[in-house]
């Protein structure tokens, strides 16, 4: 095994252009994934790259660098639309894990139960992929392709998550269901974001469900049904199981597919009610 600690982003991209490397940042997914065996691949440590550890704002977007940890997200001053992401951050393992693990690492690990994915989906997150010769952005829903599978070329690394400023409006929430309260992998989780116009009508709705399919999904039919509904209505009554039919619940040791579907339906209702009550 070869190991190198990149001195800067340019060096990291140069090394990726020449050979395949396993990227190590927080290490909270890489080390458990090795199953206590010596790692066979080349390891490039990017943890020291301060240029990737910032959250910046400009006139068009919020940019979360690839080295930003979950604790950084919790501490950052972000619009209320990011509350779902902050709530998810509190659910990522222990405080020690939150201090070390990166939000981008959570995406690249591409677990169906990745807590960061649903909140980022409702923020219309774009993933910035950099190589030595180019930079491209793709929507998050096109980046995660399946269980442990992402749209990342061998010479690329994720350098940032980019949130359009237009998606940084409204209120959001996140609810996670597990077998116990803390340090648990999700059975189901839901992120929801609503933006209301001056007449109290829903101008934009975004709802996503994770851990209920191989890849977290937006509930587009429900979002359409919520459009122009009054925020003072009982939003939970609008939700039906038909809105969740695009999901493909998985059976595993944590839950049956049938239970996951019913749990997700209830979590969606609770999420919308929670936001509606906040506006009220």
User: Three-state SS string across 211-276, please?
Assistant: CCCCCCEECHHHHHHHCCCECCCCHHHHCCHHHHCCCCCCCECCECHHHHHHHHHHHHHHHHHHHH
pLDDT of residue 279: 82
pLDDT of residue 255: 86
β pairing state of 135-139 and 3-5 = unpaired
Higher pLDDT, 38 or 266: 266
Contact yes or no for 131/155 (Cβ under 8 A): yes
Q: Is 24 within the bounds of a domain?
A: no
Rounded to an integer, the average pLDDT of 127-131 is: 98
Q: How many domains does the chain have?
A: 2
In the listed set 166, 190, 225, which residue is the last one of a domain according to the structure? 166
Q: What is the CATH number of the domain that holds 239?
A: 3.30.390.50
Question: Which of 134-138, 159-163, 184-188 has the least mean pLDDT?
Answer: 184-188
Residue 89 has pLDDT above 80, yes or no: yes
Residue 74 and residue 52: Cα distance in Å, rounded?
Answer: 17
Domain span including residue 100: 49-166
Q: Is 15 within the bounds of a domain?
A: no
In the listed set 166, 186, 215, which residue is the last one of a domain according to the structure? 166
Q: pLDDT band at residue 149, thresholds of 50, 70 and 90?
A: very high
Residue 182 has pLDDT above 60, yes or no: no
Q: Is 7 within the bounds of a domain?
A: no
- Reduce the DSSP state of residue 23 to 3 states and report it: strand
Q: Which residues pair with 45 in a beta bridge?
A: 5, 24
In the listed set 106, 133, 166, which residue is the last one of a domain according to the structure? 166
- CA separation, residue 148 to residues 28, 106, 142, 195, 229 (Å): 15, 11, 14, 33, 38
Q: In whole numbers, what is the pLDDT of the chain averaged over residues?
A: 93
pLDDT of residue 200: 95
Residue 179 has pLDDT above 90, yes or no: no
Q: pLDDT band at residue 35, thresholds of 50, 70 and 90?
A: low
Q: List pLDDT tens digits, range 222-254.
A: 999 999 999 999 999 999 999 999 998 888 877
Question: Which of 27-31, 79-83, 132-136, 239-243 has the least mean pLDDT?
Answer: 27-31
Based on the domain organization, do 199 and 232 belong to the same domain?
Answer: yes
**Token output for 245:** 């039919």
pLDDT of residue 41: 79
Based on the domain organization, do 215 and 196 belong to the same domain?
Answer: yes
Q: What is the pTM of this model?
A: 0.94
pLDDT of residue 84: 98
Based on the domain organization, do 131 and 73 belong to the same domain?
Answer: yes
Q: What is the CATH number of the domain that holds 84?
A: 3.30.465.10
Question: What is the number of helices (H) and of strands (E) in the chain?
Answer: 10, 14
């Amino acid at each position: 095994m070869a190991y190198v600690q990149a001195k800067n982003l340019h060096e990291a991209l140069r090394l990726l252009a020449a050979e395949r490397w396993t990227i190590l940042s927080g290490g909270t997914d890489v080390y458990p994934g090795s199953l206590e065996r010596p790692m066979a691949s080349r390891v490039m440590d990017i943890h020291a790259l301060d240029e990737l550890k910032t959250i910046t704002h400009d006139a068009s977007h919020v940019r979360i660098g690839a080295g930003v940890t979950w604790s950084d997200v919790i501490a950052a001053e972000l619009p209320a639309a990011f509350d779902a992401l902050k709530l998810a951050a509190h659910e990522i393992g222990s405080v020690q894990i939150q201090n070390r693990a990166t939000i981008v690492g959570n995406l690249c690990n591409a677990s169906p139960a990745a807590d960061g994915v649903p909140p980022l989906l409702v923020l219309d997150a774009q993933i910035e992929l950099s190589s030595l010769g180019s930079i491209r952005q793709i929507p998050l829903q096109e980046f995660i392709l399946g269980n442990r599978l992402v749209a990342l070329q061998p010479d690329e690394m994720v350098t940032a998550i980019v949130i359009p400023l237009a998606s940084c409006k409204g209120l959001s929430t996140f609810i996670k269901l597990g077998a116990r309260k803390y340090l648990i992998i999700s059975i189901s989780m839901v992120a929801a974001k609503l933006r209301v116009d001056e007449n109290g009508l829903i101008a934009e709705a975004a709802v996503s469900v994770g851990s209920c399919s191989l890849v977290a999904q937006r509930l587009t039919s429900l979002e359409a049904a919520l459009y122009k509904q009054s925020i003072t209505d009982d939003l939970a009554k609008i939700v039906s199981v038909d809105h969740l039919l695009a999901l493909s619940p998985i059976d595993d040791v944590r839950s049956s597919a049938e239970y996951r579907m019913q749990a997700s339906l209830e979590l969606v209702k609770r999420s919308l009610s929670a936001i509606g009550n906040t506006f009220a």
